[in-house]
Amino acid sequence: MSYPDDRKYADSHEWVLAEGETALIGISAYAAGELGELVYIELPEVGEEIEVGAEFGVVESVKAASDLVAPVSGEIVEVNDAAVDEPKTVNDDPYDAGWLVRVRLSDPGELDDLHNAGSYEEMIGED
């Protein structure tokens, strides 16, 4: 499995794609594969604040439910309603159509605490 080099990855398997003062957040292909086919996604509302390390939503599959843990802090400025309506999108395309939320970063320096693609692959044992 390959992981896009343009993102940062959290130990809890979320990815972050910084785009100026905002960032997209989703879950890695590894996490989507481990969970199995997603059947339900619960995400925060636009305008809510998330804090690094805190739960900000839930993904449920036919096998398990898993909390989403914020890899960065910020204000939710957009939610991917298409993924909420069709959770399997996250399994099929976790890095593009399957993104979950867009946040306005409150501390871009938090990105420095996350893995690059290579160290994430090492962490999950796929190096």
* pLDDT tens-digit readout, 22-49: 999 999 999 999 999 999 999 999 999 9
User: Would you place residue 127 in the very low, low, confident or very high pLDDT band (cuts 50, 70, 90)?
Assistant: low
For residue 47, what are the domain limits?
8-111
pTM, two decimal places: 0.96
State how many domains the chain has. 1
User: Given its phi and psi angles, is residue 47 left (phi above 0), alpha (psi -120 to 50 degrees) or beta?
Assistant: left
117 part of a folded domain: no
Q: Using an 8 Å Cβ cutoff, are 98 and 91 in contact?
A: yes
For 105, what's the count of Cα atoms within 13 Å in the CB-facing half-sphere? 18
* Euclidean distance between CA atoms 30 and 103, whole angstroms: 22
Domain CATH number, residue 93: 2.40.50.100
119 part of a folded domain: no
